[in-house]
Structure 1
Amino acid sequence: MSTKQTVIAVALSIAANSTFVMHATATERNVEKTRAEVIAEMVQAHKDGLMNVSDAEYPRILAAASNKTRAEVIAEMVQARKDGLMNVPDAEYPRIPEAASNKTRAEVIAEMVQAHNDGLMVLSDTEYPRMQLLPHK
């Protein structure tokens, strides 16, 4: 027998023995389960939230028990928003408080028209070429 054939025979022998040992060990521990048992365990794990089904569900956030009513939670959220403790989206940051005005809408529009006609307002690309702004009626 050549060296190559000896090495192959030893490798096959080791592989066969290790497969037999793994099977024997599983049988000794009574780990073998029927297909129905495995499926039942999988279904139960899925119901318990222990099984990741897709990337969209990762990480799985389990429901937390709460001692507060919905009304209490909403009241806390409203108060936190008033206190400025809530996260603010980039589109709303920095949050600028509304300015109090003593002018009517018509007065503000009239001032804007006058400033535009006097050339004090910066024109954008959509207003090129320069046009006179007519009062809104």
Structure 2
Amino acid sequence: MSDQIGWEERRAPSLDEMDEIARKAFGNLPDAFKSLCDGVVIKVVDFPDDETLEEMEIESPFDLLGLFRGLGLAQGAFPDALQTGQMPNMVWLYRRPILDYWAEHEETLGAIVSHVLIHEIGHHFGLSDDDMERVEAAAG
């Protein structure tokens, strides 16, 4: 039996490659949803920092796949926040926990990244889980 997809040559995506996957997932979001994301920064790192883990009372860094940091629209954020000295709204995607999740589930890596991205951006808008599921379905 031949290995048609060449797994023996594959390696886990780097931070830059994971960032590319996230940018593609963002690009596939519905236009109406994307247009509301002006100013949201997407950042891919290997793990959440110790401060984040302590603040969220998370024991293992593998337990957090992504995080929204900032003031979302649900909290009254406004587009000119940078002019006030406020840090930009950010979505953090954690590469190693995402890869760990991917290894244990039947979903594609792209689908997982898209799900985490939509979920974290959804916090920016104060969306319900049902709302986020509709966005995810529209993103394909």
Q: Which has the higher contact order (CA 8 A, sep 6+)?
A: 2
Structure (1 or 2) with the larger CA radius of gyration: 1
Range of TM-score over shorter length: under 0.3
TM-score, with length taken from structure 1 = 0.19
TM-score normalised by length of structure 2: 0.19
